A and B are shown apart, each in its own frame.
Chain A
């Protein structure tokens, strides 16, 4: 009687997958980040999880690593159910995270970094470096990773630093490793080295979850690929069965929304024009690479692309917060390449930032001051004979106007901005940019993280402004928004514009392929 269940239990353990996530759901206000996600990772495999930004990969990994709790669903590790309340519990259970950005102290040695936070102590409260480096060597040998424990981290190459990150995780006894976009910071040779390390780890029995959206990498290294889209698992496939283009299509979705704009209303007048804009990173690498584009009045130009391909820097260049190394920007025909942010704003450049709390609002200041931000030099916020002063009455009246026209739900305009919900904060920002009647609007993810109602109202506002002759640059990861609003869509990949597409003729295959670079080289230019 007692024997059989016991044996079954053991057998269950052996056969059970390393990780089994069943029906994971996670809601944030206004967003369903994970919607009944299922993920099964077998022991000893490299399992890639891919999807666009905002597809829910990060949330899923945070849940797995105990940084966030799921609202629904269960998580089994080797057949046993677990619920983590902190990363410490996840580490205890054998899960380790290799972060995208290295979490290393450069002035310390490898061994010091590895034991940081888990220092073995010998008698007298001293750190036991000998046993630590013995253990380090053991771990290194077991997984085929070598590194000199007494090297200073600052003297290491990027790839070696990543190895230290991996060893750090293994040192704490991890059997399951999560790699969060590990190739983002690496050059191609280093990627090769990372993949060698990953294969080595796998050969020695580790289980790896690999988060990425670079398809050729995923196809090269993964044993199994799970694709997420809009918080749902859409497919789990073997790399041998799919091509990069198939994967791209899975990521983007098989059905694209229909363009919803009436006929083009673009006039002949150019609102903003970029000529051969190049922005260099600190290491002299071009982040924005020779971008030229032109948006006419009454036209919306959408930029598609996986995040981190130069969109933010392009926005910064237009706004004036990012130094451009070559190229010219014309606002309504005038060269503004060397003018200040303020002068650009005064000359009719509106801006809806992608992160309203970080770039858009003064959270502890009242709404009327927030409404003035960016327009404080112009009427009705100041100006006239009292141009050095803020016109408090005018500002309040203008804020009331924004509140009514843009349906900002707030008790009054004196409350601090942090008291509003995300959607209302966004409506306030959209409102303040629109009532200033800009001639060019740069909208970066204008509806990210807000509820459906607020989203629809923001879209309406943008459409309306378009018919009144606004030239809009729209950057968005939301394809409904991008295809639904844009007159023209260009795709950015690695800082370059790789394609210009007509929203009504776009296919998931082509869009996905351009966005992930699956066709880069064949069709660039």
Chain B
């Protein structure tokens, strides 16, 4: 039994370790081709990443990545590809910022309202793709890509002018860029430096660990409970594994598609909250790309709540620590994009190989045990 546990853990770790190992080697080759010394480059990144302030940056980056990863994973668990997280979180963020700025409430309620609006908007927007799929059979990949375009270059571009602080801008004004009205202090999720400082020295350089980190933890825990413990999660996973079996098992595929899509959008709505808490408003330079990065993180983490966390931290580390490469000049910063790509590719392949190995092992073990029994 003990051996078996060790085996299982070893198997679970084999794929990501192999992926990172392979990615490191492949990236080294690219670094060498570019004329950089890979050891210096990695050394610089690790040295930089070991500083507390940088670790706070990494956590701040990992937080929205994680939430975005969970949003994508909810869809993946049912073989739904929600590419629309990108549009959903940005649209959610601007509406939540606008609503947050237009009310004044005591702290908890104010924050709660902003989060709630963000979740509702995210869920409603992804729900459009869900309804289209259920009623008209529109592939969710296509509809969410379209909805991204509508949200980002349509709705948000318009709303950011319409809701511009100090009155809407017209086409003739050129001073676009302030963003929405600022949200009162009471609506901003406070930093949790003091929580981290329990374990570490004081955080310097004015760095703040976002309070949304706690939201991300809650999202992870709830995701785990929902998927692995509830009936809804069971139906969702069953549909993902075998839609036909789920169907004759009484699972309504339409309800599940709609439910999973909306839920994915609800979580996506929270992706932009760390940025809102930092900026206190939505502005035209609001952080982008988190939705797409989340898809990668979910793939890397195999849709597993813990795995997504590791994936988010890894990507956040690479994103953040790569900043030092420009300073030290040991390599080009863009090498991390290559690394992220290779890690992802290697992970997908390694998981598949390990999975096949595991299936064969399991069948072999089961039949071996039975033969022992019958003799």
Chain A residues engaging chain B, CB cutoff 8 angstroms: 319, 321, 340-346, 351, 353, 358-365, 369, 372-374, 376-377, 382, 387-390, 392, 409-411, 415-416, 418-421
Contact = CB atoms under 8 A, between A and B. Distances in A.
Contacts of B370: 409-411
B47 interface: no
Given A409-B370, A411-B365, A358 B245 contact: yes
Given A409-B370, A411-B370, A374 B249 contact: yes
A415 B370 CA distance: 13
B247 interface: yes
Given A341-B250, A362-B242, A411-B365, 12 more contacts: A321-B248, A342-B251, A342-B252, A358-B242, A359-B248, A362-B238, A374-B250, A388-B231, A390-B229, A411-B370, A415-B365, A419-B359
Interface in B341-375: 359, 362-363, 365-367, 369-370, 373
B245 A360 contact: yes
Interface residues of B, number: 29
B245 A359 contact: yes
**What's the dominant secondary structure at chain B's contact region?**
helix
12 contacts: A341-B250, A345-B249, A353-B248, A361-B245, A363-B241, A389-B229, A390-B230, A409-B370, A411-B370, A418-B362, A419-B362, A420-B366
Chain A CB count within 10 A is highest, among B230, B242, B359, for B242
Q: 10 nearest interchain CB pairs?
A: A342-B250, A374-B249, A419-B366, A411-B369, A373-B249, A362-B241, A419-B362, A345-B250, A419-B363, A341-B250
A345 B233 CA distance: 19
Contacts of B241: 362-365
B235 interface: yes
B292 interface: no
A416 B359 contact: yes
A341 B231 contact: no
B362 A361 contact: no
B207 to A, nearest CB: 41
A342 B237 CA distance: 17
Contacts of A377: 231, 250
B238 A341 contact: no
Contact of A341 (B237, B247, B369, B373): B247
B7 to A, nearest CB: 13
A500 B217 CA distance: 64
B369 to A, nearest CB: 4
B244 A359 contact: yes
Contact of A373 (B245, B365, B367, B369): B245
A202 B239 CA distance: 50
Given A340-B250, A418-B359, A388 B237 contact: no
Contact of B234 (A346, A376, A411, A418): A376
B134 interface: no
B241 to A, nearest CB: 4
Contacts of B238: 362, 365, 369, 373
B249 A410 contact: no
B204 to A, nearest CB: 46
A127 B229 CA distance: 58
Nearest to B367: A421
Interface string B45-75: 0000000000000000000000000000000
Interface string B94-127: 0000000000000000000000000000000000
B231 A382 contact: yes
Interface in B212-242: 229-235, 237-238, 241-242
Contacts of A372: 234
B203 to A, nearest CB: 40
Contacts of B367: 421
A401 B251 CA distance: 24
B246 interface: yes
A392 B228 CA distance: 10
A376 B237 contact: no
A397 to B, nearest CB: 17
Contacts of A392: 229
Chain B CB count within 10 A is highest, among A344, A360, A364, for A364
Contact of A376 (B229, B231, B247): B231
Contacts of A389: 229-231
Interface in B236-291: 237-238, 241-242, 244-252
A388 B373 CA distance: 39
Chain A CB count within 10 A is highest, among B229, B249, B366, B367, for B249
A318 to B, nearest CB: 11
Nearest to B365: A411
Contacts of B237: 362, 365
B248 A390 contact: no
A341 B366 contact: no
A204 B197 CA distance: 90
Contacts of B251: 341-342
B248 A374 contact: yes
B122 to A, nearest CB: 23
A392 B230 CA distance: 10
A341 B229 contact: no
A362 B238 CA distance: 7
A409 B250 contact: no
Nearest to B232: A388
Chain A CB count within 10 A is highest, among B232, B362, B363, B366, for B366
B231 A418 contact: no
B234 A390 contact: yes
Contacts of A419: 359, 362-363, 365-366
A411 to B, nearest CB: 4
A372 B244 CA distance: 15
B52 to A, nearest CB: 40
